Amino acid sequence: KAGVTQTPRYLIKTRGQQVTLSCSPISGHRSVSWYQQTPGQGLQFLFEYFSETQRNKGNFPGRFSGRQFSNSRSEMNVSTLELGDSALYLCASSPNPGTYEQYFGPGTRLTVT
């Protein structure tokens, strides 16, 4: 069974632009969570989606948003990029919200210049 895939793997954007990252969960997994990893703040939870609904949201500004499609694939969007948004963005999937194990994708490395 294929693992979690994330595209693109690397991205360079300019301050003020917006970006969309994609995550395809493991086949059969319906819950997708997103995390931001930076050297200063570590790993921080962004949000979680299940059945196309956002179930949980971390403490991030409204510039960070996401959505989930009927096939469980998820996207996250960051608008008006700031230098501090440079990070590794990790997506994780699990079969459903009641399943506590999460399986991570390889991440998208976003650099904002």
Partner 1 sequence: AQTVTQSQPEMSVQEAETVTLSCTYDTSENNYYLFWYKQPPSRQMILVIRQEAYKQQNATENRFSVNFQKAAKSFSLKISDSQLGDTAMYFCAFMAGSNTGKLIFGQGTTLQVKP
Q: Are 74 and 35 in contact (CB under 8 A)?
A: no
Decide whether 14 or 42 has the Cβ nearer to partner 1: 42
Shortest Å, Cβ 85 to partner 1: 17
DSSP state of 85: G
Decide whether 73 or 79 has the Cβ nearer to partner 1: 73
Decide whether 22 or 79 has the Cβ nearer to partner 1: 22
Shortest Å, Cβ 20 to partner 1: 20
Q: How far apart are the first and last CA of the chain?
A: 37
Interface ranges with partner 1 (CB under 8 A) = 31, 33, 35, 42-45, 48, 50, 55-56, 58, 88, 90, 92, 94, 97-104, 106-107, 109
Shortest Å, Cβ 15 to partner 1: 24
Distance CA 7, CA 23 (A): 7
